[in-house]
Chains A and B, each alone.
Chain A
Amino acid sequence: QVQLQESGPGLVKPSETLSLTCAVSGDSISSGYYWGWIRQPPGKGLEWIASIYHSGSTYYNPSLKSRVTISVDTSKNQFSLKLSSVTAADTAVYYCARQKYSDYVDYWGQGTLVTVSS
């Protein structure tokens, strides 16, 4: 059974960088799937942030591209997200996910709430 687990600070100060990691178990991150991050502000809908392939190919939401970096560590079977210059608008539950290639998400992490506040 594939499992994804997000980790990282639950509170980030405005203008700082949000950093999250997703540990993958039950599958190899080099298995041929894409891996991504999706967020959901409290009480709102879903927004795709970024995705990565194990080869290192990266894909970003154009609206966030200037502030986002996604990376993969195949040795640790995990991938990470960095979002810089955060504001209160970046407060959200952040989900990591396994993508069926460039298509849909077939496995989700449980999500982690990140609050941007001083």
Chain B
Amino acid sequence: EIVMTQSPATLSVSPGERATLSCRASQSISRNLAWYQQKPGQAPRLLIYGASTRATGIPARFSGSGSGTEFTLTISSLQSEDFAVYYCQQYNNWPEWTFGQGTKVEIK
């Protein structure tokens, strides 16, 4: 099983600041990584796939990078609606998808 480790567990950021979230895979997954955003009481929403491609309708302030085992999700200027939990997911090892444990982005 590929283990996905996200850091930090919680990130405190002020509105307008940049947020940088990390996701590490226990073995290489090429660029087969997606990021999701989840707000309380809601289903996750796809933000990024292929490590760096924004999904339809996702604002340009969200960007993804990385390959192999190290990945980053950057939110360039946090808006109030961006405070949420973010999950990474690898799909390199289909059909054994795995998710990270999540990073909560909270208001500082």
Contacts and interface: CB of A to CB of B under 8 A. Distances in A.
Contacts of B99: 45-48
A108 B34 contact: no
Interface stretch (B12-20, B44-52, B75-83): B44-52
Interface residues of B, number: 23
Contacts of A102: 91, 94-95
Interface string A101-118: 011111011110000000
For chain A, what secondary structure do more than half of its interface residues adopt (helix, strand, loop), or is it mixed?
loop
A5 B34 CA distance: 23
A103 B44 contact: no
B101 A100 contact: no
Contacts of B42: 110
Given A45-B87, A103-B49, A62 B96 contact: yes
Contacts, number: 51
Contacts of A105: 34, 36, 44, 46, 89
B30 to A, nearest CB: 12
A60 interface: yes
A60 B102 contact: no
Contacts of B43: 95, 108-111
A51 interface: yes
The 6 closest A-B CB pairs, nearest first, are A59-B95, A104-B34, A108-B43, A102-B94, A48-B97, A46-B99
Interface of B: 1, 32, 34, 36, 42-46, 49, 55, 87, 89, 91, 94-102
8 contacts: A95-B43, A100-B49, A103-B32, A103-B49, A105-B34, A105-B46, A106-B46, A108-B44
